[in-house]
């Protein structure tokens, strides 16, 4: 369940923690709401990365489709395709050949692995050996696709900066970390030298989030996927098995 909080509320909370309250405070030598909003967005991005590093990816996951086929890519060979504009981190790549016919594509383990596809005269087809490589804002498929198919990518999108009227999903009051962090920056910017008094409060919120970010399904702890590291490193057998 989401717990949306307005950006304007986070700004007010930051002023509270920095003890900069009262009518006209934003126009009497202190930071303006616009300046604080900039700090809020920067702090939210740090919190966002913290949640992702704590394996909270699935809370923000999104999906998009890419049309694969001859002449559809961003390169002349149609092997390279643009990822979604909001793309940040990749979760999975699946080719949807039919309604009940989905093929999971694994990454090519290294740049050197590209040679395996050339040396084996690989051809593009359903359920033949294939892989992908990340290339900046694009994704490359190996071997080069020669038939049309819908590719679905599950991904974590970038955080989009909030406007004052925008809202942020604080999950369960986690926006407090943002407000306290912004208050500390405000005090440092204004050289009041008292940002340190908020450090303990900030660290308590930080520990709380790190402990809970990956535990939304409390009865089912996160499990490590067995990728069979002792198996062949070739992208033809990316999980150590055979197709």
> Is residue 187 within 8 Å of residue 195, measured between CB atoms?
yes
Query: Is 89 a member of any domain?
Result: yes
Domain count, the chain: 2
Strands 149-157 and 62-68: antiparallel
Under DSSP, the state recorded for 2 is -
Strands 62-68 and 80-82: unpaired
Query: Is 218 a member of any domain?
Result: no
Extended strands (E) in the chain: 4-6, 62-68, 80-82, 87-98, 101-105, 131-135, 138-142, 149-157, 167-169
Query: Is 127 a member of any domain?
Result: yes
CA distance 77 to 143: 11
Q: Per the structure block, which two tokens stand in for 98?
A: 């039919």
Query: Is 226 a member of any domain?
Result: no
CA distance 117 to 64: 27
Asked whether residue 94 falls in the same domain as residue 147, the answer is: yes
Give the chain's residues under pLDDT 70.
Answer: 1-2, 22-29, 55-57, 76-77, 118-122, 192-195, 213-243
Asked whether residue 76 falls in the same domain as residue 125, the answer is: yes
Query: Is 88 a member of any domain?
Result: yes
Asked whether residue 81 falls in the same domain as residue 149, the answer is: yes
Asked whether residue 21 falls in the same domain as residue 86, the answer is: no
Query: Is 237 a member of any domain?
Result: no
Asked whether residue 145 falls in the same domain as residue 64, the answer is: yes
pTM (2 decimals)? 0.76
Q: Per the structure block, which two tokens stand in for 149?
A: 């198919």
Query: Is 239 a member of any domain?
Result: no
**pLDDT value, residue 13:** 95
Asked whether residue 96 falls in the same domain as residue 148, the answer is: yes
Decide which of 141, 157, 173 is a domain's last residue: 157
**pLDDT value, residue 113:** 72
Asked whether residue 201 falls in the same domain as residue 164, the answer is: yes
**pLDDT value, residue 231:** 42
Residue 39: burial class (beta carbons within 10 Å; 0-12, 13-18, 19+): buried
Asked whether residue 50 falls in the same domain as residue 63, the answer is: no
Burial 127-163 (b: 16+ CB within 10 A, else e): eebbbbbeeeebbbbbbbbeeebebebebbeebeebe
Decide which of 90, 122, 157 is a domain's last residue: 157
Asked whether residue 181 falls in the same domain as residue 107, the answer is: no
| Beta-carbon count within 10 A of 185 CB | 19
Asked whether residue 114 falls in the same domain as residue 145, the answer is: yes
**pLDDT value, residue 121:** 61
Asked whether residue 138 falls in the same domain as residue 77, the answer is: yes
Return the closest-CA partner of residue 43 out of 20, 6, 17, 10: 10
Biggest alpha carbon–alpha carbon distance for the chain:
73
**pLDDT value, residue 212:** 73
Asked whether residue 66 falls in the same domain as residue 135, the answer is: yes
> Is residue 90 within 8 Å of residue 134, measured between CB atoms?
yes
Query: Is 112 a member of any domain?
Result: yes
Strands 149-157 and 80-82: unpaired
**pLDDT value, residue 237:** 46
CA distance 59 to 168: 13
Range of the domain at 93: 58-157
């Amino acid at each position: 369940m989401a717990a949306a909080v307005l950006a304007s509320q986070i700004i007010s909370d930051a002023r509270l923690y920095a003890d900069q309250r009262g009518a006209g405070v934003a126009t009497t030598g202190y930071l303006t709401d616009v300046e604080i909003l900039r700090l809020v967005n920067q702090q939210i991005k740090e919190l966002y990365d913290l949640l992702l590093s704590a394996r909270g990816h699935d809370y923000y996951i999104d999906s998009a489709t890419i049309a694969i086929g001859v002449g559809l890519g961003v390169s002349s060979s149609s092997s390279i395709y643009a990822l979604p504009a909001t793309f940040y981190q990749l979760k999975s790549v699946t080719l949807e050949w039919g309604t009940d016919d989905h093929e999971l594509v694994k990454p090519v383990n290294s740049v050197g692995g590209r040679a395996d596809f050339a040396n084996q005269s690989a051809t593009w087809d359903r359920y033949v050996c294939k892989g992908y490589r990340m290339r900046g804002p694009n994704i490359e498929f190996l071997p080069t696709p020669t038939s049309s198919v819908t590719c679905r990518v599950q991904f974590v999108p970038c955080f989009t900066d909030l406007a004052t009227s925008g809202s942020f999903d604080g999950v369960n009051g986690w926006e407090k970390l943002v407000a306290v962090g912004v208050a500390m920056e405000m005090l440092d910017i204004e050289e009041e030298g008292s940002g340190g008094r908020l450090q303990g409060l900030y660290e308590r919120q930080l520990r709380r989030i790190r402990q809970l970010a990956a535990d939304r399904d409390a009865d089912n702890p996160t499990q490590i996927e067995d990728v069979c590291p002792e198996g062949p490193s070739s992208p033809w057998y990316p999980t150590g098995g055979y197709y």
